[in-house]
């Protein structure tokens, strides 16, 4: 009996640009999140901290359905604009959906999950980038 061959290895995650290159994408994702009534939309600048990405976009919804709707809207609209995530997680769970665009990581939370994990506090040294008003 032959042993099964391992599937193709997932390519290594590309490195973020460490420039302003991801900022327009982060702002676009914020706009799309707000279009689905996301609350408490915050953009964190992680570049000075040497994190795995340049920007975190945090947003939350009030139900699992809204969390999925926000994430789906970002995925679908950016996909139509030619921008697909390198990785995504939590789409089935709907409590915390992560969309990894390398330079920008979008976190869409259920409001209770966001309150529990407090990423803003965990990344408290990160600067906040002002977003245009809704």
Query: Domain containing 81 — which CATH number?
Result: 3.30.460.10
Q: What is the pLDDT of residue 134?
A: 57
What band does 88 get if pLDDT is binned at 50, 70 and 90?
very high
pLDDT of residue 1: 47
Residue 49 lies in a domain: yes
Domain span holding position 115: 22-129
100 within some domain = yes
Q: Are residues 21 and 103 in contact, defined by beta-carbon separation less than 8 angstroms? A: yes
Domain-located, residue 103: yes
How does pLDDT run across 21-75, given as a tens digit for each residue? 999 999 999 999 999 999 999 999 999 998 889 999 999 999 999 999 999 999 9
Q: Is residue 123 domain-resident?
A: yes
Region 96-116 average pLDDT:
96
Percentages of the chain per state (helix, strand, coil), in multiples of 5:
35, 25, 40
106 falls within a domain: yes
User: What pLDDT was estimated at residue 93?
Assistant: 87
Residue 3 is predicted with a pLDDT of: 54
Percent with pLDDT over 70 in the chain: 92
* Chain Cα centroid distance, residue 42: 11
The total number of structural domains that make up the chain: 1
Rg (alpha carbons) of the chain, rounded to whole number: 16
Domain-located, residue 17: no
């Amino acid at each position: 009996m032959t042993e099964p061959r391992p599937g193709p290895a997932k390519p290594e995650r590309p490195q973020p640009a460490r420039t302003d290159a991801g900022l327009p994408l982060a702002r676009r994702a914020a706009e799309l999140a707000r279009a689905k009534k996301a609350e408490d939309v915050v953009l964190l600048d992680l570049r000075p901290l040497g994190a795995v990405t340049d920007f975190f976009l945090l947003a939350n919804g009030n139900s699992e359905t809204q969390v999925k709707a926000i994430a789906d809207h970002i995925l679908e609209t950016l996909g139509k604009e030619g921008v697909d995530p390198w990785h995504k997680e939590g789409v089935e769970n709907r409590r915390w959906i992560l969309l990894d665009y390398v330079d920008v990581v979008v976190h869409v939370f259920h409001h209770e999950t966001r309150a529990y994990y407090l990423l803003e506090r965990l990344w408290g040294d990160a600067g906040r980038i002002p977003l245009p008003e809704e």
